[in-house]
Amino acid sequence: MKKNLTLKQIAKELEVSVSTVSKALKNSEEISESTRQKIQAFAKLYNYKPNNIALSLKNRKTKTIAVIIPEIVHHFFAMVISGIESVANKSGYNVIICISNESYEREVINIEMLASGSIDGFIISLAKESQEKKDYHHIKEVINQGMPVVMFDRVTREVYTDKVIIDDVLATQEAIQFLLSKQRKDIAFITTPDYISVGRLRTEGYTKMLLQNDIEINEDLIVRIANEEELITQLEHLFDTQKFNALVAVNELYAVAALKIALKRGIKVPDELNIIGFTDGIISQHSTPAISTIKQNAFKMGEISAKLLINKLEEENEHEHYITEVIGTELLHRETTSL
């Protein structure tokens, strides 16, 4: 079978990163001239043509939108996709999903593959690694080529486009405020490293609210999970070394893990320990006791993302005007908070 050269193969052959190849082929000045020349020559030699389909399709609309999500085994993203599908299908659009698996490289590869002709626009939530690298050239590139992009949940200020988010700072503040109103002032906070925008903003909400109430921040009560394989170890360490009567986690996986450890240690939930998670997913609903949670309205987030994208696609005149839509959240009390 005749095969076409892929970005990845060029990268491997020349021992550079996929991102370098991608930038060099676009003649980006970020890449040294000698490297650019080498890569361009190689691509020419082996007949690499990323845009040959795109050209033939210039005026053809595919009625297909692509969604790039960081992971699939995650109820939040699954619900966002259900929301996107619901609006897209009603409007006669097909939906294609690709998974970056939290990898910057896979995000770049997926976007390049789809941008070259098979779709009309993107809905994207950033991979952890892209947020860590702060490299968004691949997204800026498709926008520059005139393809509409909507970002949701994990977004960045560095890309100017339509966005759909929740107010992570405010949502966390509301949860902390509730706990403080019940005289629970020793609050552990299970979050992600700060390079993940959502984790950083929620941590900001936590510290802001404590400071507003003249409570000193105890850094040992803040646990940042960089690697999910170490989740249990880090939580056990928290329970071993700290005293707290409430715990807030930035997702339901962290919340249920904390709940299980507490129950095993004979800690009474909610009497001795209140627990609040983010994401109203199947884990929170089905655990015993069921977990109180900050409901992010993922389905609605998907619906609005799809609406924004389709509006852009069907606008007669192109406007250089972007909006950020903020979706409301609500604190849903189940069995892990004391009312």
SS3 245: coil
CB nearer a second copy, residue 101 or residue 156: 101
Quote the least distance from Cβ 63 to a second copy, whole Å: 6
CB nearer a second copy, residue 80 or residue 201: 80
Quote the least distance from Cβ 84 to a second copy, whole Å: 10
Quote the least distance from Cβ 144 to a second copy, whole Å: 18
Quote the least distance from Cβ 116 to a second copy, whole Å: 10
Quote the least distance from Cβ 113 to a second copy, whole Å: 5
Helices (H), the chain: 7-14, 18-25, 33-45, 52-56, 75-90, 104-115, 128-133, 137-144, 168-181, 197-212, 231-241, 252-264, 282-286, 298-314
Which residues lie near a second copy (CB under 8 A)?
A: 1-4, 6, 8-9, 53, 56-57, 59-64, 72-75, 78-79, 81-82, 85, 89, 92, 94-99, 101, 106, 109-110, 113-114, 117-118, 253, 256, 260, 263, 282-283, 286-288, 313-314, 316
CB nearer a second copy, residue 164 or residue 253: 253
Query: How far apart (Å, rounded) are the C-alpha atoms in residues 298 and 78?
Result: 9
Distance of CA 327 to the CA centre of its chain: 15
CB nearer a second copy, residue 76 or residue 239: 76
Quote the least distance from Cβ 125 to a second copy, whole Å: 14
Quote the least distance from Cβ 231 to a second copy, whole Å: 13
SS3 sequence of 200-242 = HHHHHHHHHHHHHCCCCCCHHHEEECCCHHHHHHHHHHHHHHC
Which residues 6+ apart lie within 8 Å of 36 measured at CB? 24, 27, 28
Name the token pair of 157. Answer: 């200020």
Quote the least distance from Cβ 283 to a second copy, whole Å: 5
Name the token pair of 7. Answer: 């970005």
CB nearer a second copy, residue 14 or residue 263: 263
CB nearer a second copy, residue 111 or residue 304: 111
Name the token pair of 239. Answer: 């329970």
CB nearer a second copy, residue 122 or residue 206: 122
Neighbours of 218 (CB within 10 A): 15
24 and 35 in contact (C-beta within 8 Å)? yes
Name the token pair of 314. Answer: 């069907």
Query: How far apart (Å, rounded) are the C-alpha atoms in residues 216 and 212?
Result: 10
CB nearer a second copy, residue 209 or residue 308: 308
Which residues 6+ apart lie within 8 Å of 339 measured at CB? 333
